[in-house]
Amino acid sequence: MRLDPKVLAGAVVLFALTGLAARAAAPSAIVTWSAPTTYTDNSPIGAGEIKSYTVEWRRTAGGAVAGSVNVSAPALTATVPVACGTYVFDVIATAGAVSGAPSASVSFDSGIGCTPNPPTGLKVSKG
């Protein structure tokens, strides 16, 4: 079977225009957690009392928060776009207007090495 070159060229253009050309997908971290069942005084958390969760991420443990996303309860998952390197995630539950302490932190490696910036201050002199 032989393809008409005009049809083939049209298919290539359509393929490129629809954004289906091969390219690396941006990595993401899928963060999941379990809802707390008690308050810090060990009294039970009633159905619907948890209003939201805040997923925070840092580049290093104990470092500054690099980003966060709010998730409305009862959802227990968030997809977070990440770049190269390692991230540290934690989740904070909010009941009413009161937020609890962060969960234990979990480290995540995006699997992509970070590309260094180019050198600066380049000079060339006569030898």
DSSP codes of every residue in 71-119:
EETT--EEEEE--SSEEEEEEEEEETTEE-PPPPPEEEE-S-PPPPPPP
Average pLDDT of the residues in 117-126: 95
User: 1-58 pLDDT, tens per residue?
Assistant: 444 444 434 433 333 333 333 345 668 999 999 999 999 999 999 999 999 999 999 9
Looking at residue 14, what is its pLDDT? 34
HSE (CB half, 13 Å, CA atoms) of 23?
A: 8
Contact at 8 Å (CB) between 4 and 11? no
Q: How far apart are CA 1 and CA 5, in angstroms?
A: 13
Q: How far is CA 50 from the centre of its chain?
A: 23
pTM across the whole model: 0.73
Looking at residue 25, what is its pLDDT? 63
What residue ranges do the domains of the chain occupy? 27-109
Residue range 27-109, CATH number: 2.60.40.10
Model confidence at 97: pLDDT above 70: yes
Looking at residue 27, what is its pLDDT? 86
For 15, phi then psi, to 5°, come to -60, -45
Confidence of residue 73 (pLDDT cuts 50, 70, 90): very high
Looking at residue 16, what is its pLDDT? 34
